[in-house]
Amino acid sequence: MDNETLQAWVEKISIESFGRPFLHRATFNSRLRSTGGRYFTRSHDIEINPGQLESFGREETEKIIKHELCHYHLHLMKRGYQHRDADFKRLLAQVGGSRFCSALPGQTKRTQPYRYKLICRSCGMEYLRKRKVDPAKYACGKCRGKLFIKMLDIVLEP
């Protein structure tokens, strides 16, 4: 499917589900990784992840388009268009859009392993951290003792 076909599809969904025309651009963006689509508040354009269409088909992609059209129409009507707003939640349920999209195959959430360990000098309590912190700014939550940081097998003294 190309961008022109997507544009026509979004316009059709907008008229059928919302009773309002979609007057801006809808395009595919293959660089989207963690989301099925996005709506731009400044340009009012919509981008859709083509991987969602390839992996999950037209039905799931249509739910993503409805989700983005909820943002679009509510924003233009100057009503609550953000995920947390009651107007958005109500309209999304009414048109049958999806709240979340499915994760693409092979794209599981990447989590960093813990790289740093803060250790209390007094009681030996350990705190795992992904990012480096200044141990002089913190104290042990158990005994209020001083902390030192250990990275992998290297001990870094404050």
Give 126-157 pLDDT, tens digit per residue. Answer: 999 988 899 999 999 999 999 999 875 544 45
Q: What are phi and psi of 141, to 5 degrees?
A: -75, -15
Q: How far apart are CA 133 and CA 158, in angstroms?
A: 11
Residue 52 · residue 101 · CB < 8 Å: yes
Query: Hey, what amino acid is at 22?
Result: F
Residues forming CATH 3.30.2010.10 domain(s) in the chain: 3-95
Per-residue pLDDT reduced to its tens digit, 52-90: 999 999 999 999 999 999 999 999 999 999 999 999 999
At 105 the three-state DSSP class reads: coil
Which residues are tagged catalytic?
A: 68
Total residue count of the chain as it appears in this document: 158
3.30.2010.10, 3.30.70.360, 3.40.50.1370, 3.30.1330.20: CATH of 3-95? 3.30.2010.10
- The CA angle 6-80-41, to the nearest 5 degrees, is 45
Q: What percent of the chain has pLDDT over 70?
A: 91
Q: How far apart are CA 87 and CA 76, in angstroms?
A: 13
150: nearest Cα among 109, 116, 104: 116
Structure tokens at 3: 């961008």
